[in-house]
């Protein structure tokens, strides 16, 4: 069962609420005000025994093509063209509006199966609007409450009627199952498993060019872009394979200083961006070359490091600034301001022109490899012996600190445990000395390194 459904309708009829209900997660931002959704968001929907791709779209509005609303409408029309069936949604409590009638004609011209959904039909308040929906000529309306989950069984029947071929349960083929379970004969090579995509979150200040960069990676205008700052609200994930490297890229809303965020919707967008960062493996911080390196960029980078994610810095719009000594100046400035991720890759690029994308993807793959790196215990302890001979730990209160041995229990990010005496007495400066030594000796640039001190139980403590 592989088919796709697009939820369309005018703003604020509950499209994102139904999307979250079918996906089973609160992925799309939901608010009482109209026009919250701007980009089209895709997810894996489930309804009974049906599994399908569901697309949430921006509200249809009458606007000129060059305006923001016009570009949002173009994204919705693209979703209508790609789907197998359309869920056309109206607000049953308000009833039909001239906008509903105008866009019903647009949906009818698409030539796709249309399922008319009358949302907010709980109670008696939606009965009149549901009956009024017959006038659209799109078939029988389905009374539904996306907020409370009422009417989903009727929606299931309507999807099965609209797409009988795609929703028909396939008969189990026992022979095919037996063939799939067969062990390859001697000399045969098992097919390689598909490589899992690297999860990449693109973060930065508003209007840094994040959506433009991802569109250039995809080779199509998948995400909404424009000169206005703060266009992106939801964290949208797209899959792309560039130069043979599979990526799952998350486009996020621009992050401003917390003191400047007053709007509730911007707070939700910022929280969604930070959630995408926590689920990512590599984070690309995009800096606008026409605006100097600011404190907000440092805050974002520090947040990524504390979360333990691999880091790549993209210096976007580099074609708009003179290049004299740019790379050297950036490297010195960032290594000085971000010592916790010293050696982080810095890639000058232009998302609009497509310059530097090869280097960016190569830096992402390299950072992911370093983030997953493991170091054997023997080299670690040889390193520990060498650094303590060169610079032994200081004596605190007249007593020496004994460093016994070191091991790496896990990666992602590289995490090390140092067994020693008097863990509370080891100075912070000496811990930084050990971390910098680990980074330099075992080639771990641009990733946060965790070093935990542990003290063995003293058998004579009692």
Contact (CB, 8 A) for 231 and 70 = no
Contact (CB, 8 A) for 373 and 444 = yes
Residue whose structure tokens are 């070359």? 289
268 C-beta neighbours (distance < 10 Å), count: 17
Which strand ranges, in their side-by-side order, compose the sheet holding 245-251? Answer: 236-242, 245-251, 198-204, 282-288, 310-316, 346-348
**69/99 Cα distance (integer angstroms):** 14
Contact (CB, 8 A) for 205 and 296 = yes
**442/452 Cα distance (integer angstroms):** 18
**216/236 Cα distance (integer angstroms):** 15
107 C-beta neighbours (distance < 10 Å), count: 21
Binding residues for GTP: 9-16, 56-60, 119-122, 204-211, 251-255, 316-319
Q: Residue 106 corresponds to which tokens in the numbers above?
A: 């647009």
Closest CA to 341 of 376, 384, 298, 377: 298
**458/226 Cα distance (integer angstroms):** 64
**53/37 Cα distance (integer angstroms):** 18
Contact (CB, 8 A) for 41 and 25 = no
403 C-beta neighbours (distance < 10 Å), count: 21
For residue 171, what is the DSSP state?
P
User: How many residues in the chain?
Assistant: 462
Which strand ranges, in their side-by-side order, compose the sheet holding 4-8? Answer: 41-47, 50-56, 4-8, 85-91, 114-119, 142-143
Contact (CB, 8 A) for 4 and 82 = yes
Binding residues: 9-16, 56-60, 119-122, 204-211, 251-255, 316-319
């Amino acid at each position: 069962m592989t088919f796709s459904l697009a939820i369309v309708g005018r703003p604020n009829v509950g499209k994102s609420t139904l999307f979250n209900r079918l996906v089973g997660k609160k992925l799309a931002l939901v608010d009482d005000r109209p026009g919250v959704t701007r980009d089209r968001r895709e997810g894996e929907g489930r309804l009974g025994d049906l599994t399908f791709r569901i697309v949430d779209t921006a509200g249809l509005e009458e606007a000129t093509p060059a305006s923001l609303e016009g570009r949002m409408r173009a994204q919705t029309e693209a979703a209508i063209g790609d789907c197998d069936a359309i869920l056309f949604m109206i607000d049953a409590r308000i009833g039909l509006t001239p906008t509903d009638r105008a866009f019903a004609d647009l949906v009818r011209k698409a030539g796709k199966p249309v399922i008319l959904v009358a949302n907010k039909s709980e109670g008696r308040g939606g009965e009149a609007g549901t009956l009024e929906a017959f006038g659209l000529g799109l078939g029988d309306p389905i009374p539904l409450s996306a907020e409370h989950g009422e009417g989903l069984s009727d929606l299931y029947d309507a999807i099965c009627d609209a797409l009988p071929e795609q929703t028909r349960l396939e008969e189990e083929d026992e022979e095919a199952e037996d063939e799939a379970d067969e062990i390859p004969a001697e000399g045969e090579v098992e097919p390689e498993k598909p490589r899992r995509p690297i999860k990449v979150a693109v973060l930065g200040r508003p209007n840094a060019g994040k959506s433009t960069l991802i569109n250039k990676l995809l080779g199509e205008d998948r995400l909404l872009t424009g000169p206005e700052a703060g266009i992106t609200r939801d964290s949208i994930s797209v899959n792309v394979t560039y130069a043979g490297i599979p990526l799952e890229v998350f486009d996020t809303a621009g992050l401003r200083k917390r003191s400047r965020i007053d709007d509730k919707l911007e707070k939700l967008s910022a929280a969604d961006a930070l959630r995408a960062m926590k689920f990512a493996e590599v984070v690309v911080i995009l800096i606008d070359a026409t605006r100097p390196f600011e404190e907000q960029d440092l805050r974002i980078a520090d947040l990524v490091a504390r979360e333990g994610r691999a880091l790549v810095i993209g210096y976007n719009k580099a074609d708009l600034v003179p290049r004299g000594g740019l790379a050297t100046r950036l490297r010195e400035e960032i290594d000085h301001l971000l010592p916790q991720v010293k050696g982080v890759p810095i890639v000058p690029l232009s998302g609009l022109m497509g310059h530097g994308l090869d280097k960016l993807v190569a830096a992402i793959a390299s950072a992911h490899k370093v983030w997953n790196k493991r170091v054997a215990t023997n080299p670690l302890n040889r390193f520990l012996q060498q650094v303590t001979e060169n610079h032994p730990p200081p004596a605190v209160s007249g007593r020496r600190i004994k460093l016994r041995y070191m091991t790496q229990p896990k990666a992602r990010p590289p995490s090390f445990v140092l067994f020693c005496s008097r863990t509370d007495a080891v100075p912070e400066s000496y811990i930084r000395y050990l971390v910098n030594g680990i980074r330099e000796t075992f080639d771990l640039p641009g990733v946060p390194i965790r070093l935990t001190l542990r003290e063995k139980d003293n058998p004579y403590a009692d």
